[in-house]
Amino acid sequence: MVTKRIIPCLDCKDGRVVKGIQFQGLTDAGSPAELAARYQIEGADELVLLDVGASIESRNNQLQTVRDVRAQLSIPLTVGGGVREVQDIENLLHSGADKVSINTAAVTNPLLVQESSRAFGAQCTVVAVDTKRKGDNWIVITRSGTEEQELDTIDWVRKVEQLGAGEILLTSFDRDGTQLGYDLELLRAVSQAIQIPVIASGGAKVTDHLFEAFQAGADAVLAASMFHYQTHTIGQVKRELRELGIEVRL
Amino acid sequence: MSRTVSIINTGVANIASIQSSFAKLGYETQFTASAQDVLDAKAVILPGVGAFEAGMSALNSLGFSDALRQRIHDNKPTIAVCLGMQLLCESSEESPGTKGLGILKSQIRKFSPGIRTPHFGWNMVTGTPYFGSGYAYFANSFRLAEDPDDGWEVATCEHGERFIAAVRKGNVVAAQFHPEISGDFGFSILEKWLEGVTW
């Protein structure tokens, strides 16, 4: 049986790890390569590295950061942030990514998802979906949460699955950085709508939050703050999850 | 002489992770440039991601297929990973009508109906003394269901049903999972395979 995955996320800007609340107010949280090495030792199942600095300078730093992090890792590495065309994906793969996460560009040019899946395979094509609640539903938001799209989140995940996405990285804007727990209703709705794995993101603070996300259908959970500031180690969280009956790699 | 592992570059795999894993183990890497390289190299890795047909057509258009068959027939150290393992088989339900390398006398099939695919993430591999047992990272929607027999030892895995996680005969190893990103367990298999190389 495939185990549930714990994935620390490194949001990076200008070569440093940063962390914010609802995508804003970024503070420094350390060196990407050092944190990556620590997380692997603690038992991370893979790592996500997102470039949240929008500048060209930050993008150039990104490839070097990917190389530095890759040199530390023997687990899968997903990289995202500013991926606009097939060439960006190829550059990241050649720098040491195993999977590439496409966010805003998937919305503005859905065919990019298809091209990526055909050229590099579904297994390396992750679509990041940032979403927020609107009325009884959820809508897709882009450009780091600054733009609302006329796009229902459930319709969107079904579409990108058809286009060849291999996984969905689902971030709740409402919960990001709040430490209130994942949006479980959202997770249930999305994981029931599609076959491909769903990575839950946004809101984790304690092991129970991760447990609830798995119960709601998540295949993997992403967490940043709860690991960066060493309030929890991944090994400790995994042992607690196993006691709660969740199968994890230990 | 430096210890260099030759990578068959079909252009689409997570090549940098493969290079990085061998670097961590203390080996250099290079790409095979010709069929003669494929035949003569001390150690060859056939990585692969993506679709069966694309993988085979890349191998055929590079002119590497016969050389690969020959070196495996000659028991030269060769490791095939993920799609690379599937390409060693005769055919795949993923690409009906495309002929594989036919080294493993087996067909690649979809997981049975009702089983959630793709099979993504870490799963337990139960192996022979050569492979050992441990968690490995998989990303596959198709699988080798039956033992290829013919002297191949097999390691297995479960995802709704039993399937073949890896096979080995002499110096030839093929793995459905990704040893290059499967932590200590994956690295132990790469090291074991490399022990068979005469440098």
pLDDT tens profile A74-106: 999 999 998 999 999 999 999 999 999 999 999
**pLDDT surpassing 60 at residue B1:** no
Please give the ipTM for the structure prediction.
Answer: 0.92
Of A45, A130, A176, A183, the catalytic one is A130
pLDDT tens profile A63-72: 999 999 999 9
pLDDT recorded at residue B50: 74
pLDDT recorded at residue A95: 93
**pLDDT surpassing 90 at residue A128:** yes
Whether A86 has its CB under 8 Å from any CB of chain B: the answer is no
Domain boundary assignment for chain A: 5-243
Q: Which residues pair with A169 in a beta bridge?
A: A128, A199
More confident residue, B73 or A61: B73
The pairing of beta strand A220-223 with beta strand B91-92: unpaired
- Nearest residue on chain A to B24, judged by CA atoms? A71
CA A199, A203, A205, A210 dihedral sign is negative
Q: Lowest-pLDDT range, A144-153, A178-187, B117-126, B132-141?
A: A144-153
**Which residues in chain A are contacts of B186 at CB distance < 8 A?**
74
Enzyme catalytic residues of B: 82, 178, 180
Give A70 to chain B, closest Cα distance, Å.
Answer: 7
Q: Which structure tokens are listed for B154?
A: 């097999």
Alpha-carbon gap, residue A102 to A8, rounded angstroms: 18
Alpha-carbon gap, residue A132 to A130, rounded angstroms: 7
Whether A235 has its CB under 8 Å from any CB of chain B: the answer is no
**pLDDT surpassing 90 at residue A22:** no
**Which residues in chain A are contacts of B138 at CB distance < 8 A?**
2
More confident residue, A210 or A26: A210
**pLDDT surpassing 90 at residue A174:** yes
Read off the pLDDT band of A25 (50, 70, 90): low
Contact B183 A94 (CB under 8 A): no
> A199: which residues sit within 8 A by CB, 6+ positions away?
A5, A7, A48, A126, A167, A168, A169, A170, A218, A219, A220, A221, A222
Amino acid making up residue A240: E
pLDDT recorded at residue A177: 80
User: Where do we find the tokens 């959820």?
Assistant: A138
Contact B15 A95 (CB under 8 A): no
- Nearest residue on chain A to B50, judged by CA atoms? A121
**What share of chain B has pLDDT > 70, as a percent?**
98
**pLDDT surpassing 70 at residue B197:** yes
Whether B191 has its CB under 8 Å from any CB of chain A: the answer is no
Is A208 designated active site? no
pLDDT tens profile B31-72: 999 999 999 999 999 997 777 898 899 999 999 999 999 999
Average pLDDT for B83-98: 95
- Find the CATH number of the domain harbouring B188: 3.40.50.880
**pLDDT surpassing 80 at residue A20:** no
Alpha-carbon gap, residue B106 to B89, rounded angstroms: 5
Alpha helices in chain A (DSSP H): 32-42, 56-70, 86-95, 104-108, 111-120, 153-163, 184-193, 207-215, 225-228, 234-243
pLDDT recorded at residue A29: 74
- Stretch 123-182 of chain B: residues touching chain A, C-beta under 8 Å: 123-124, 135, 137-141, 158-159, 178, 180-182
**Mean pLDDT, chain B, as a whole number?**
94
More confident residue, A119 or A107: A107
**pLDDT surpassing 60 at residue B89:** yes
Give A40 to chain B, closest Cα distance, Å.
Answer: 9
Q: Which residues pair with B134 in a beta bridge?
A: B125
Whether A87 has its CB under 8 Å from any CB of chain B: the answer is no
Whether B51 has its CB under 8 Å from any CB of chain A: the answer is yes
Q: Total structural domains in chain B?
A: 1
**Which residues in chain A are contacts of B184 at CB distance < 8 A?**
74
Residue B73: give the domain boundaries: 4-195
Is the peptide bond prior to B118 cis by the omega test (within 30 degrees of 0)? yes
CATH annotation of A5-243: 3.20.20.70
Whether A116 has its CB under 8 Å from any CB of chain B: the answer is no
Average pLDDT for A111-127: 92
